[in-house]
C-alpha cells in the first residue's frame, strides 16, 4: 500500500529520485533529538553541565545564544568534555526509534552537527556498514573512500567525542574551524566535491537561530552564488526572520513539519518505493558472532582503530554491565591515538612497536571478556 502523503504541496519524488541517484545529502542538527525524559537536547546538556551556574568550577561563561563555552582555565576543557561524553552515553529512548529510521533511509552522505555517537551506535547495533570521519582542526584528512548507499559516510562537522581536541566548543574553536575547513586542511577536498556535486540537500533539526550557521554553509560552498538548480529543504525555524534569511541567501524551501515528522514521512515514502536499506538477516547470537569476526578481520588488516570502534559499538547495547570494559577500551583507544599522533609527527621511538603490540594484545583480551558478557 503506498504511503499517505501528508504534505499536499511537497514533491517527495524529488527527494526519492536524489536518494536513488546518490545525490541527496542529509544535515542533522541537535533539534532532531529529544533529550532523555523529554525536552530540548541543548538545554538538557547545559543543565547537566551546570553551564549557567555562576559558581561552576570549570565553566566561566556559557553563551546560550550560540551554545559555546568559556572555560575558567584551558586545562578544564578536558573535564567538561568528560561530562559531555557522560551525558551522551546515557540512553536516549525518545530518539531511538527515529534514529533507526534514519539508519534505514539510503543516504550516502550524512553530516552531523552534534558530537555524539547516537547514530553511529544505531548503525552498529543494526549491523549496517558505514564509514565515519570527523573534523579535526589542522589535521590531515583521512584517505577518502567514495560513499555509497550501501556504505554511507557519516561525518561529524564540528568534531566528535572520540577525539577530545576535535570538538568545537568555544568561539576560538569555531574560528579555527572556519579557517581550517576553508583552506581544505581538515576536510578532504574530494568530500567537498562530493557535497558540491549533490543536487538535493535536507537540513533537519539545524539551529537556524545560531549566527554562525550561515558561515558554516558558506564555507561548504552551499550558498546560491556558487550552486544552481538545487533543491534544498529544511524543517522550519522558529523565527520568521530566520526563515526569510535562509530562503533568500540559500534558496532553502522550508517544509511544514518539524524534523522528526519529516523523517517519519520520508521513511514511509522510501518504504513505498522499496528504497529502505534491508534489515540484517542475522539476529541474536549469530549477529554477535559476526561482529566478533568483523573485529578480528580489522585486527588482521592492522586497522586497530576500526577494530576498537567495532568493539565499542558491540559493547554499547550491554550497558550498564559493559561499563568497565568500555572504560578500559576508551583508555586503550586514547593510547593508540597518541601512538598514531607520534608516528605522524615522526617522533615515535624504538619502543613504538612494542607499545603497539601491547595495545593489540590488550584489545584481544578485551574481546575475550566481551564474549563472556555477550
Q: Which residue has the cell 522510501?
A: 270
Q: How is residue 285 written as a grid cell?
A: 547470537
Distance CA 180, CA 186 (A): 6
pLDDT for residue 4: 44
pLDDT for residue 49: 94
Q: Compute the half-sphere exposure of residue 210: CA atoms within 13 Å on the CB side of its CA.
A: 21
Sorted by sequence, the CB contacts under 8 Å of residue 235 that are 6+ apart come out as 31, 203, 204, 205, 206, 254, 255, 257, 258, 259, 262
What pLDDT tens digit does each residue of the chain (374 aa) get? 344 444 446 788 989 999 999 999 999 988 888 888 888 888 899 999 999 999 999 999 998 888 889 999 999 999 999 999 889 888 888 888 899 999 999 999 999 999 998 999 888 878 888 888 888 876 776 777 889 988 899 999 888 888 888 899 999 998 888 777 666 666 777 888 888 888 888 888 888 777 777 777 776 665 444 443 345 555 555 555 565 656 665 666 766 667 888 899 999 999 999 999 987 654 444 466 777 888 888 888 788 888 888 888 888 777 667 888 888 999 998 888 888 887 777 666 667 778 888 899 899 999 888 887 76
- What top-level class would CATH report for the domain 12-36+89-273? alpha beta
* 31 DSSP 8-state letter: G
Task: Count Cβ neighbours within 10 Å for each residue of 233-255 and write b for 16 or more, e otherwise.
Answer: bbbbbeeeebbebbeeebbbebb
Tell if the pTM clears 0.85, that is, is over it.
no
70 bridge partner residues: 61
Q: Where are the beta strands (DSSP E) in 207-255?
A: 231-235, 253-255
Q: Where are the beta strands (DSSP E) in the chain?
A: 24-28, 59-63, 68-71, 109-112, 131-134, 153-156, 200-204, 231-235, 253-255
pLDDT for residue 269: 94
The domain locations on the chain are 12-36+89-273, 285-373
Sorted by sequence, the CB contacts under 8 Å of residue 254 that are 6+ apart come out as 233, 234, 235, 236, 237, 243, 246, 247
Sorted by sequence, the CB contacts under 8 Å of residue 283 that are 6+ apart come out as none
Amino acid at each position: 500500500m503506498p504511503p499517505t502523503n501528508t504534505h499536499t504541496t511537497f514533491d517527495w519524488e524529488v527527494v526519492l529520485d536524489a536518494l536513488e541517484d546518490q545525490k541527496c545529502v542529509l544535515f542533522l542538527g541537535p533539534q532532531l533529538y529529544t533529550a532523555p525524559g523529554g525536552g530540548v537536547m541543548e538545554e538538557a546538556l547545559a543543565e547537566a553541565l551546570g553551564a549557567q551556574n555562576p559558581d561552576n568550577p570549570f565553566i566561566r561563561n556559557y553563551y546560550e545564544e550560540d551554545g559555546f563555552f568559556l572555560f575558567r582555565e584551558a586545562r578544564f576543557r578536558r573535564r567538561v568534555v568528560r561530562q559531555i561524553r557522560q551525558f551522551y552515553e546515557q540512553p536516549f529512548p525518545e530518539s531511538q526509534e527515529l534514529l533507526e529510521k534514519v539508519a534505514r533511509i539510503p543516504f550516502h552522505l550524512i553530516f552531523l552537527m552534534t558530537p555524539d555517537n547516537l547514530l553511529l551506535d544505531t548503525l552498529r547495533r543494526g549491523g549496517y556498514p558505514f564509514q565515519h570521519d570527523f573534523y579535526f582542526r589542522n589535521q590531515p584528512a583521512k584517505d577518502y573512500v567514495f560513499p555509497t548507499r550501501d556504505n554511507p559516510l557519516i561525518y561529524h562537522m564540528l568534531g566528535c567525542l572520540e577525539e577530545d581536541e576535535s570538538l568545537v566548543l568555544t568561539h576560538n574553536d569555531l574560528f579555527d574551524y572556519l579557517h581550517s575547513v576553508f583552506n581544505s586542511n581538515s576536510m578532504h577536498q574530494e568530500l567537498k566535491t562530493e557535497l558540491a556535486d549533490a543536487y538535493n540537500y535536507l537540513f533537519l533539526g539545524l539551529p537556524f537561530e545560531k549566527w554562525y550557521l550561515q558561515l558554516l554553509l558558506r564555507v561548504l560552498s552551499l550558498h546560491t552564488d556558487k550552486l544552481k538548480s538545487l533543491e534544498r529543504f529544511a524543517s522550519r525555524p522558529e523565527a520568521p526572520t530566520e526563515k526569510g534569511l535562509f530562503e533568500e541567501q540559500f534558496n532553502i524551501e522550508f517544509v511544514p513539519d518539524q524534523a522528526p515528522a519529516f523523517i517519519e514521512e520520508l521513511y514511509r515514502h522510501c518504504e513505498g518505493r522499496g528504497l529502505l536499506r534491508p534489515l540484517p538477516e542475522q539476529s541474536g547470537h549469530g549477529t554477535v558472532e559476526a561482529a566478533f569476526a568483523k573485529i578480528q578481520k580489522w585486527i588482521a588488516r592492522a586497522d586497530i582503530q576500526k577494530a576498537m570502534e567495532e568493539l565499542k559499538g558491540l559493547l554499547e547495547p550491554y550497558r550498564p554491565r559493559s561499563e568497565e570494559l568500555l572504560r578500559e577500551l576508551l583508555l586503550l583507544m586514547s593510547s593508540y591515538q597518541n601512538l598514531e599522533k607520534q608516528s605522524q609527527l615522526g617522533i615515535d621511538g624504538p619502543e613504538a612497536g612494542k607499545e603497539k603490540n601491547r595495545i593489540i594484545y590488550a584489545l584481544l583480551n578485551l574481546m575475550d571478556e566481551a564474549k563472556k558478557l555477550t
